[in-house]
Amino acid sequence: MRKPFLVVFSMLTTALPALAAEPHPFNVRDLVTLKRISDPQPSPKGDRIAFVLRSTDLAANKGRYDLWMVNADGGGLVQLTTDPASDDNPRWAPDGQSLFFLSSRSGSNQVWRLPVGAGGPGEPVQVTHLPLDVSNLTVSPDGSRLAFSLEVYVDCPTVACTRERLDAKAKEKASGQLYQGDVGFFRHWDAWSTGLRNHLFTLPSSGQGDPADLSRGMEADVPSRPFGGTEEFTFSADGRTVVFTARVAGREEPWSTNFDLYSAPADGSAAPRNLTSANLAWDTQPAFSPDGKTLAYLAMTRPGFEADRYHIRLRDLATGQERVIAEPWDRSPEGLVFSPDGRTLYTVATDVGQTPLFAIDVAGGKVTKLVAEGHARDPKVAGGRIVYGLDTLTSPVELFTVGRDGGRPTQITHVNQEALAGVGMGEPEHFSFQGANGDTVWGWIVKPVGFQPGKRYPLAFLIHGGPQGSFSNEFHYRWNPQTYAGAGYAVVEIDFHGSTGYGQAFTDAIRKDWGGKPLVDLQKGLEAALKRSPWIDGGRACALGASYGGFMIDWIQGNWPDRFQCLVAHDGTFDQRMMYYSTEELWFPEWEMGGPYWQSATEYEKFNPVNAVDRWKTPMLVVHSGLDYRIPVTQGIAAFNTLQRKGIPSQFLYFPDENHWVLKPANSILWHDTVLAWLDRWLKPAIK
């Protein structure tokens, strides 16, 4: 086994060797090759920060992951792992002298332990030798146990039983899969069910013994699929208890958002106990106070609504009594982290086009903004400071620290500084206008790279998905306005009614009104942007959107048909009726439209793009993927068939190996090249 080498750099600008970019406007090749920081983990003393760094292997057409570490003051950057296999999910041992992490270097994903003392990283040692892949690693506060997830058959009494069944199934020649009518999702996001469930296990940190299934017998995924992770479970302060979130499956799983918190002994000696059965909405992201007396967690109040506001609840573990804090603060937090004295909670939340870092007083609920601008993410306590990731419209994620009471933030990593040296980006401007119902609506304008006063520029008008989402001040790896600005386009983005970060009433306003107020906001927002920025050529404009944004493109085709010179619809809804009957998470359309299709057909048909195809006439690029089970590919096929039958100039870009998102580097490059070529064709006369 190759021993990882120690690399220490005195200057962060030379810490990650890369060819300095020749001066040029930002483009998709810059986008896919930038290094991506995630999962910052402060050491117990808070003096060192371990983190994951993703780099892109274009030849292999995938990302690879390594562990790195930096001092909390920004010095002493060290690469900890260099194995060709991906290493991620670092977690400190309590003594601060070693890191547990996950790696596939043995042929399957297992837990490893890496010494990281004063002499630098040592030889990693494999801790677990389980017959199944390990995911979502966490270490108990006392270091005695590991918690992680494994995919198992619920009725299997042992991990070995699952392995034996999988091996036997692999030998079968028949490929058919029979799905029972009472097991919940038979396909979800981008995968068909194989009968396996994520279950939460613990094991002594030595790796010895049999893992204990804390969720045994539960027809549930812990953590949840497809995006749940370690934020959905936690050890108590003394390490004796684990609290996790789960939705017990069954026939109702596709239309239920009833996640509950469960408590179980960390050694698996007793069955889990439901702590939040009284709430039929979403309960998640538990966090214990340092003294172990209080459990904080996030809770929604409306069943069936995935974009409801999260409220912060505190449970006294001795009495079981609960209280809600910061209730007047009309924002939806993401994650909770206690201060060492238990008096403060740290969190982030979308807020008027930004995602600030907030401190919340546990006693009185006062909310203080510690970091105001950009997209703060994944805050952790590091001694007397908070470490967090931060990105903006002009910068990918880097690690920063800020005092626990605020103050001036300090940037401690610069992993893309050399790669972006000389790369031009467009200047963003945040603006507001009067939208539907006279409400204040916000948006962004991004100038083209190399902007010259007096010159007029064509427009890329981007429409976000969700619809409960936001075009915030962040560096996006799929819908990044800089890829259009770098190609010479002005960019306008509008946070229409339904967007997040403007209060729950604004988010709720889109329900049963998908093509109403949001369309008015887009129309008024474009008008306001053109008035504000006369250098934008409104006569050369293309509208682009994905998911709900793709629906809106299809809706614009028939309901704003004379405005744009071209359109791009990615994974958009074409027919609301068949969308309901073929999607997987039924709670989503049922909340948005007021019930199942057969009960609320009028609401589905009110804003159904298929009903206005007689007015379609704008040239349109349709993009869809074969593994998209959220909005199945037949929706894109139907839109393209309509365009072809009507003789409207159109193209169909199909990805058989992508889901609702385009993730593979080569596919991302193809996507951007195709989309920009489509815009050039219709908006740049010399090319047309």
For β-strands 385-392 and 260-265, DSSP reports them as: unpaired
User: Is the separation of the CB atoms in 170 and 162 below 8 Å?
Assistant: no
User: Is the separation of the CB atoms in 622 and 640 below 8 Å?
Assistant: yes
Task: Quote the distance between the C-alpha of residue 654 and its chain's center.
Answer: 23
- Give the C-alpha separation, 303 to 259, whole Å: 10
Residues 6+ apart with CB under 8 A from 521: 435, 436, 441, 494, 496, 497
Active site residue 521: no
State the catalytic residue, choosing from 289, 332, 547, 600. 547
- Give the C-alpha separation, 631 to 657, whole Å: 15
The CB density around residue 617, as the number of other CB atoms within 10 Å, is 15
CA atoms within 13 A on the CB side of 149: 25
State the catalytic residue, choosing from 378, 628, 650, 680. 628
State the catalytic residue, choosing from 199, 414, 476, 660. 660
Q: What are phi and psi of 511, to 5 degrees?
A: -60, 130
- Give the C-alpha separation, 609 to 180, whole Å: 34
CA angle 521, 522, 524 (to 5 degrees): 65
State both tokens at 154.
């619920």
Cα 375 to Cα 33, 312, 389, 470, 471, distances in angstroms: 21, 21, 8, 11, 11
| Coil, helix or strand at residue 286 | strand
Residue type, 230: T
160: left (phi over 0), alpha (psi -120 to 50) or beta: alpha
Residues 6+ apart with CB under 8 A from 270: 264
Closest to 103 (Cα-Cα) out of 40, 52, 166: 52
- Expressed in angstroms, the distance from the first to the final Cα of the chain is 57
Residue whose pair of structure tokens reads 């006279």 in the numeric block? 438
For the chain, the residue count is: 688
State both tokens at 243.
């609290």
- Give the C-alpha separation, 48 to 95, whole Å: 13
Q: What is the DSSP letter of 293?
A: S
Question: Which segments within 552-649 are labelled E, that is strand?
Answer: 566-570, 620-625
- Give the C-alpha separation, 382 to 403, whole Å: 10
Active site residue 103: no
Can you count the helices (H) and strands (E) in the chain? 12, 42
* C-alpha torsion sign, points 462, 466, 467, 471: negative
**Nearest 10 degrees: Cα torsion 72, 74, 80, 81:** 120
Q: What are phi and psi of 568, to 5 degrees?
A: -135, 120
Residues 6+ apart with CB under 8 A from 464: 470, 471, 479, 493, 495, 499, 545, 548, 549
Active site residue 650: no
- Give the C-alpha separation, 429 to 446, whole Å: 6
Positions annotated as catalytic residues are 547, 628, 660
